[in-house]
A = this chain, B = another copy of it.
Amino acid sequence: MSIKIGILGYGNLGRGVEAAIKQNPDMVLTGVYTRRSPSDLKIKTEGVAVRHTSELEPKRGDIDVLIICGGSATDLPEMTPKYASLYNVIDSFDTHAKIPEHFANVDRAAKENGTVGIISCGWDPGMFSLNRLYAVSILPEGRDYTFWGKGVSQGHSDAIRRIEGVADARQYTIPVPEALDAVRGGKNPELTTRQKHTRDCYVVAEEGADKAEIERKIKTMPNYFSDYDTTVTFVTAEEMARDHSGLPHGGSVIYSGTTGENNRHVIEYSLNLDSNPEFTGAVLAAYARAAYRMNAESANGAKTVFDIAPAYLSQKSGDELRAHYL
């Protein structure tokens, strides 16, 4: 019997989840839900209905897990607890400072209604978090470093697009090779923000715009760019479309710790992703399976990747996993 999946929200991430479901034969997409007009939305899976979010209430029989693909700023804090009262849910909430509050809200709704709500799933938070936890649990005396990139930061790209005279922009976050080398070498360096990452910006200027002023505004923008070595390259709209249309990302969690008489161990987990939303969607699909299976065993409440035994992510039986993956 297939796990029936609903997708709420059909942006880049929702499309990534849709692509992932096609690769998992034990899952079936039963509906895509949108706050917009459903007739305006064309999805890629044949024969699957697009419905308005109002149809998510009351509880539907054709959803085992609802994968919520909304933004962390305003969508998820409201949506995830709301729908956890009806369905097993999963989200990719990534506002680190507000995770405890979000967890408590989802936990309350899920426990009252006997559902499982997995929050903050994806690769960071998500797979990177797991690797930080495994490493510090194994080597209590050590230190972790997280590097992001090379990859497109949507938030930084959007910040540039809001500058007057900018028609389009793409920002790449790039780890500084010397910093990576020092950390991989087990040197446990102290690194400033500037020493860890650089920022490369590709900008399409509107006709007649003051390029020098655009560059100045980018490089001095607080929080986003002023603490980094930033380069700005102006390109044509055609070059932007040709060279910068993908959404690659990735990065590394590197942990360096010691045991015994100063024996050093370096653990590194790295991702090199052609498509950030498709990989995140694939992580969500695997954890949706876990939500379904844990709930079938009577688990309920909010969970994170820390609370979920790895075997729950797999379609394979315990016997198969021990025989072929251990």
Which one of B16, B286, B307 contacts A309 once the chains associate, using CB atoms below 8 Å?
B307
Q: A319 and B100: CB pair below 8 A?
A: yes
Contact B266 A272 (CB under 8 A): yes
Please give, as numbers and ranges, the residues of chain B lying within 8 Å of A264 by CB-CB distance: 274
Q: How large is the interface on A (under 10, 10 to 19, 20 to 34, 35 or more residues)?
A: 35 or more
The answer to whether A286 and B137 touch across the interface, beta carbons within 8 angstroms, is: yes
Most buried by B among A305, A314, A322: A322
The answer, yes or no, to whether A273 is at the interface (CB within 8 Å) is yes
Counting CB contacts under 8 A, is A99 at the interface? Answer: yes
Instruction: Let me know if A222 is at the binding interface, CB within 8 A.
Output: no
Q: Does A279 contact B (CB under 8 A)?
A: yes
Instruction: Tell me the minimal C-beta distance from A259 to chain B in angstroms.
Output: 4
Of the listed stretches A50-58, A64-72, A127-135, A192-200, name the one at the interface; the rest are far from the partner chain: A127-135
- Which of B125, B322, B323 makes the CB contact (< 8 A) with A326? B125
Is A166 an interface residue, CB under 8 A from the partner? no
**Contact segment of A32-40, A77-85, A138-146, A206-214:** A138-146
Task: Determine if A325 and B103 form an interchain contact, defined as CB atoms under 8 angstroms apart.
Answer: no
Task: Verify if A268 is at the interface (C-beta below 8 Å from B).
Answer: yes
A15 to chain B, nearest CB (A): 8
For residue A273, which residues in chain B have a CB less than 8 angstroms away from its CB?
263, 265-266
- A306 to B325 Cα, complex, angstroms: 9
CB-based contact B326/A120 at 8 Å: yes
Q: Is A308 an interface residue (CB 8 A)?
A: yes
CB distance from A322 to the nearest CB of B (A): 5
A218 at the interface (CB under 8 A from B): no
Q: Is the CB of A313 within 8 A of B99?
A: no
Indicate if the CB atoms of A271 and B267 lie closer than 8 Å: yes
Residues in B neighbouring A326, C-beta threshold 8 A: 96, 99, 120, 125, 129, 304-306
Is A91 interfacial (CB-CB < 8 Å)? no
A47 within 8 A of B: no
B259 and A23 within 8 A (CB)? yes
Is the pair A311, B307 in contact by a Cβ cutoff of 8 Å? yes
By the criterion CB–CB under 8 Å, are A314 and B137 in contact?
A: yes
Please, what's the 1-or-0 string for A152-187, where 1 marks a CB less than 8 Å from any CB in chain B? 000000000000000000000000000000001010
Complex CA gap A215/B131 in Å reads 43
Q: Quick check: A279 and B259 within 8 Å, CB to CB?
A: yes
Alpha-carbon separation in the docked complex, A267 to B53 (Å)? 35
Query: What residues make up the interface of A, taking CB atoms closer than 8 Å to B?
Result: 16, 19-20, 23-24, 96, 99-100, 103, 120, 125, 127, 129-134, 136-141, 184, 186, 259-260, 263-275, 278-279, 281-283, 286, 289, 304-311, 313-315, 318-319, 321-323, 325-326
Question: Could you list some 15 contacts between A and B, CB below 8 A?
Answer: A19-B259, A20-B259, A23-B140, A100-B322, A130-B310, A137-B286, A138-B283, A138-B313, A259-B275, A259-B279, A266-B273, A267-B271, A268-B269, A304-B322, A308-B310
